[in-house]
Chain A
Amino acid sequence: MKKVLSGNHAAAVGAQLARVQVSVGYPITPATQVFEAIAEMKSKGEFPGEFIAAESEHSVMAALLGASTAGARTFTATSSHGLAYMHEVLHWVAGARLPIVMIDVNRALAAPWNLWTDQTDSLSQRDTGWMQTYCSTNQEVLDTVLMSFKIAERVMLPSMVVLDGFTLSHSYEPVDVPSQADVDAFLPPFRPELKLDPDQPITFGSLTQPKDYLRLRRRMAADMAEAEDAIEEAGREFGELFGRAYGQLDPYRCEDAETILVTSGAVGSTARAAVDALREKGLKAGNLRLRAFRPFPAKALRAFVRPGMKLAVVDRNYSPGMGGIFAQELKAALYPRPGVSVHGYVTGLGGGDITVELLKEVWERVDEAPPAEIPAATWVEDAR
């Protein structure tokens, strides 16, 4: 059934359809609506699980850690400072191999205060062991919540579903809401091998010596590698059932393109319009949208690039002292590059508009640039 939903409401409906058993939340702009929607569903008897209002984001993730260890399917949403406050428990959840699914609505970090979209909040959690998927439409938010539970429960790693603050979280779009029966066919109940059980008491996470710790992290690496396949397989199966297939990468008109915009999140949809406009002028433009950031789709990217390609990476994020984060990760994944040059553009920080016009200008600038090594990011903004 088609409904008109905001990105936040699409996330809440995804959690409802996934039959989430425990959801814990603490409000933060621009993610609060996710819990407002869940609380409303709960009050009408339409949300199957428990909903707990915690006293902080650190407590949110700690409560989910307990619920997930007890074998429940768990869900939350946060943003920016809330996500940063969870940081310690994010590591614990990943190391404990708990498949919690969390929405992060991208928002800039202070100082100074800023409420608008910026990917630095989620990207600065990249080493915690959480998978991360960046969505470009509200439909994709709902679909990705469902797929993330399937992937997370297969590889036993937590998963972050990321959407742009306001651009998606508060914008309304038509969203095809699948039936409960179809979702149940795609997503079976969560049945962990180990869980807290008073009849069979066991202790988790006790002091571990270096030899074991190293091997536990190596197992995590193996499961992250398996997640690359799991994302592709879940995306294909989702496509067969619901008519919308997904993968780690989302290429658009890239077949004969030599200069390619590399985007993520809602900018990925704007970039399609920019590519169409450039193609109308007879230019060989393409857009490559990265859905997966963790695991980083290095294998898929190496298979995608061709010698002579120029990649114009649009980063709505910044790692001070290094550059745009997607550009840096892309360079690392492609090294040594077979004649591929990566051009990093930092723009739209703190919610600045990334328009069709700006993306066209970035593409044209990179298309004319020599395919040389450009170590530093180019900072740009929309003139309009």
Chain B
Amino acid sequence: MPLLDEEPRAYPRVLIATRSMDENHTGNWRTMRPVIDAKACTGCNICWKLCPEACVDLTDKVPEIDMDYCKGCGICVAECPAKCVDFIAESAS
């Protein structure tokens, strides 16, 4: 059993982060990844409208999913009228 008394006494009073919260990427929570089939996409933007994390970005036609923040909930996969969003295991991508 490790005794903390054997560690040096000096430990910081507070821990701080020096990076911006913008870099607090949460995409690594994802186990499944949505992949849009650009050829089949009609550009209806239903995925943009329904994404609970607001991480689908609008483009001229095929939306782009921001993988730094997408948590892989699968709502866009289920709701796409054209059924053009694949859902693949993160380990396979």
* A residues in contact (CB < 8 Å) with B: 96-97, 156, 194, 201-206, 208, 212, 214-216, 218-220, 222-223
Residue pair B4, A97 in contact (C-beta under 8 Å): no
A201's partner among B7, B11, B14, B20 (CB-CB below 8 A) is B20
B29: min CB distance to chain A, Å: 13
**Interface membership of B13, Cβ < 8 A:** yes
A215 is contacted by which of B4, B17, B20, B21 (Cβ under 8 Å)?
Answer: B4
Q: Which of B1-38 contact A (CB under 8 A)?
A: 4, 7, 9, 11-21
Known contacts being A201-B20, A214-B4, A218-B4, is A206 close to B14, with CB within 8 Å?
Answer: no
Q: Secondary structure of the A side of the interface?
A: mixed
Which A residue's beta carbon lies closest to that of B20? A201
Known: A203-B21, A214-B4. A219 touches B12 (CB 8 A): yes
B13 to A, closest residue via Cβ: A97
Of B11, B16, B19, the contact of A219 (CB 8 Å cutoff) = B11
Cβ A208 vs Cβ B15 within 8 A: yes
- From B9, B14, B19, B21, A97 is in contact (CB under 8 Å) with B14
**B17 — nearest CB in chain A belongs to which residue?**
A203
Complexed CA–CA distance, A79 and B85 (Å): 59
Question: Chain B residue with minimal CB distance to A218?
Answer: B4
**B14: chain A residues within 8 A (beta carbon):** 96-97, 194, 204-205, 216
Residues of A within 8 A of B15 (CB): 206, 208, 212, 216
| Complex: A218 Cα to B16 Cα, angstroms | 17
Q: Give A11 to B7 CA distance when docked, in angstroms.
A: 41
Bound CA span A156–B7, Å: 21
- Asked whether A194 and B11 contact (CB < 8 A) given A214-B4, A218-B4, the answer is no
Contact A206 B17 (CB under 8 A): yes
Chain B residues whose CB sits within 8 angstroms of the CB of A204 once the complex forms: 14, 16
Please determine whether B11 and A203 come into contact, CB atoms closer than 8 angstroms.
no
Closest to A223 in B: B13
Q: Shortest distance in angstroms between B22's beta carbon and chain A's nearest beta carbon?
A: 11
Cβ–Cβ < 8 Å partners of B19 in chain A: 203
Give the residues in chain B near A218, CB-CB below 8 Å: 4, 11
Say which size band chain B's interface belongs to.
10 to 19
Report the Cα distance A133→B30, complex, angstroms.
Answer: 50
Instruction: Among A203, A208, A218, A223, find the residue whose CB has the most chain B CB atoms closer than 10 A.
Output: A203
Which residues does chain B contribute within 8 Å of A215, judged by CB atoms?
4, 7, 11
User: By the criterion CB–CB under 8 Å, are A203 and B16 in contact?
Assistant: yes
Q: Which residues of B contact A96 (CB under 8 A)?
A: 14
Among A156, A194, A222, A223, the residue within 8 A (CB) of B16 is A194
List 24 A-B pairs, Cβ < 8 Å.
A97-B13, A156-B13, A194-B14, A201-B18, A201-B20, A202-B16, A202-B17, A203-B16, A203-B18, A204-B14, A204-B16, A205-B14, A206-B17, A208-B15, A212-B15, A214-B4, A215-B7, A215-B11, A216-B11, A218-B4, A218-B11, A219-B11, A219-B12, A222-B9
Collect the chain A residues with CB atoms within 8 Å of residue B11's CB: 215-216, 218-219
Most-contacted residue by chain B among A208, A214, A219 (CB, 10 A): A219
Q: Chain B residues with Cβ under 8 A from A219's Cβ?
A: 11-13
Closest 9 CB pairs of A and B: A203-B17, A97-B13, A202-B16, A219-B11, A215-B11, A206-B17, A202-B18, A97-B14, A156-B13
Complex Cα distance, B19 from A201, in Å, reads 8
Apart from A202-B16, A206-B15, A215-B4: 6 A-B pairs, beta carbons within 8 A? A156-B13, A194-B14, A202-B17, A215-B11, A218-B4, A219-B11
B21 / chain A contacts, CB cutoff of 8 Å: 203
Give A118 Cβ to nearest chain B Cβ, in Å: 34
Select from chain A the residue with minimum beta-carbon distance to B16.
Answer: A202
Report Cα–Cα, A220/B16, bound state, in Å. Answer: 16
**Please, which residues of chain B bring their CB within 8 A of the CB of A223?**
13
A208 to B14, CA, bound (A): 10
Cα(A186)–Cα(B12), bound, Å? 27
